[in-house]
Chain A
């Protein structure tokens, strides 16, 4: 088995830290949006700061990704799969940034105050108050979240494919 260079330590730490956060957020979001209590309010209150933390980390991570050199996708992978890998990685970055922005934007458009921490630290609105926009963005937040979840599943499947079937060392570059 050829030994590939790993991702830099910072990249790996960010990757696993955010993986946990994003999975947690997907579950919290889905659970709270299909419940009316008794934990509804607590979960919504957790959902906002966690989402904003993902936004901040995703931007830092994108910066880090563009600056560091990373192991290439193996050459012997069929072209189509290589393309799919690259595209899915771009999409993952896009959603990690877009989803929290849509969440923040939709509450702004809905005219809600947006508590970030406790009751007194609020996020400023990033969009004007516009109920139609609120409705669309609320819908988009669900759709984008489901797309992100689908991508995460495919990503995990692909990682396991590299690790268990191809055993080409790709999985090892990130652990």
Chain B
């Protein structure tokens, strides 16, 4: 249907036009995917760095790989009800599924008293939206943003000669990140309790509570054990002694924690979890967590979900703490990778837990 023959030069120009549109879009697409920004911290990059730092993979969480499922409930005290409309702060006996874990990527690592421990929880009020949170036991996070996180994991890369991260790299990370020094020192000198049951767990990241009238309050929270607290004796027991002790403790009696909210005052830094908050901040006991049952991850209810810290109900909002977004993105990617992989049995097997049940009866 070409009416007048076109000059070859014009035709070439037109063909250029036909090619230019799609090419420009394709380039823009590659840009959006980070192909031209090698410095960008991506989800894949974090997963790669975790892998090089010894994370085992094969169906297990990329971090906090060695763990066990627990369940119980939460009773609100009502004292935080004026700060947040979230159902958890108003209701009694809210069902909870949780997970205790060691914050390492190796699911078969021998238990050790100095390894960071974690408590992750999923609150499921029957008639309201759920809330997920993951907490660690050190008092502060020696990381400020995505770049710190990536640099840190990269510095923990396993040296093939020793099978461990190289001390020189770890030291270099400290030297190149002087702003994390006080947080790292605080954690290095932290009190270490004897096990999971008497441990204190911290949100580390900051969140914003929203009251029914819209008032916002920046908070961090802490789970404080009601069990008597004993210092760790520095001795390590058998390969799984921390988990065995936890199984024994929970079979003896339900374990309880107070959920304590710390309210930011004017001087506290909200958007940087490596900054400690003032010690005289107001605190509120929001309620009591009771955990009365424990199950292996194999077939347990905490395996097929991820404790994404941004799964929040109305009444709790993310703060502008950048680590929250890093975690949300990394947990989703870790969750999709591990869910598609074939997985071997957990270190804490259903059998191990069974032995305590039969002892009890």
Contact = CB atoms under 8 A, between A and B. Distances in A.
B100 interface: no
Contact of A41 (B22, B41, B328, B339): B328
A33 interface: yes
B83 interface: no
B318 to A, nearest CB: 6
B128 to A, nearest CB: 9
Contacts of A166: 1-2
B153 to A, nearest CB: 12
Interface stretch (A55-63, A80-88, A96-104, A155-163): A155-163
Nearest to A162: B18
B122 to A, nearest CB: 9
Given A30-B33, A135-B336, A165 B328 contact: no
A130 B42 CA distance: 26
B29 interface: yes
A166 B40 CA distance: 43
Number of contact residues on B: which range applies? 35 or more
Interface in B32-82: 32-34, 40-44, 46
7 contacts: A2-B1, A27-B32, A110-B339, A113-B311, A119-B317, A134-B336, A135-B339
Interface of A: 1-2, 23, 26-27, 30-38, 40-41, 44, 74, 76, 110-113, 118-120, 122, 129-132, 134-136, 138-139, 149, 152-154, 156-157, 160-161, 164-168
B1 A119 contact: no
B129 interface: yes
B163 interface: no
A164 B339 contact: no
A119 B326 contact: no
A134 B335 CA distance: 9
A112 B325 contact: no
B21 A37 contact: no
Given A120-B129, A134-B339, A135-B339, A156 B21 contact: yes
B33 A34 contact: yes
Given A35-B329, A38-B322, A139-B340, A129 B304 contact: yes
A165 B32 contact: no
Contacts of B149: 36
Contacts of B25: 23, 152-153, 156
Contact of A153 (B22, B129, B317): B22
Contacts of A168: 1
A136 B341 CA distance: 10
B126 interface: no
A130 B149 CA distance: 30
B314 A119 contact: yes
Contacts of A135: 336-340
B175 interface: no
A40 B332 CA distance: 12
B300 interface: no
Q: Which of A35, A41, A112, A167 has the most B CB atoms < 10 Å from its CB?
A: A35
A160 B18 contact: yes
B325 A38 contact: yes
Given A113-B311, A120-B129, A37 B146 contact: yes
Contacts of B325: 36-38, 40-41
A68 B188 CA distance: 71
Contacts of B29: 26-27, 30, 149
B44 A34 contact: yes
Contact of B313 (A111, A119, A136): A119
Contact of A110 (B26, B42, B329, B335): B335
B324 interface: yes
B18 A41 contact: no
Given A119-B312, A132-B339, A138-B336, 20 more contacts: A1-B3, A26-B29, A30-B29, A34-B44, A36-B325, A36-B329, A37-B325, A41-B310, A74-B1, A113-B129, A119-B129, A119-B314, A129-B304, A135-B340, A154-B22, A157-B19, A160-B17, A164-B14, A165-B15, A166-B1
Interface string B265-305: 00000000000000000000000000000000000000111
Contact of B129 (A1, A34, A122): A122
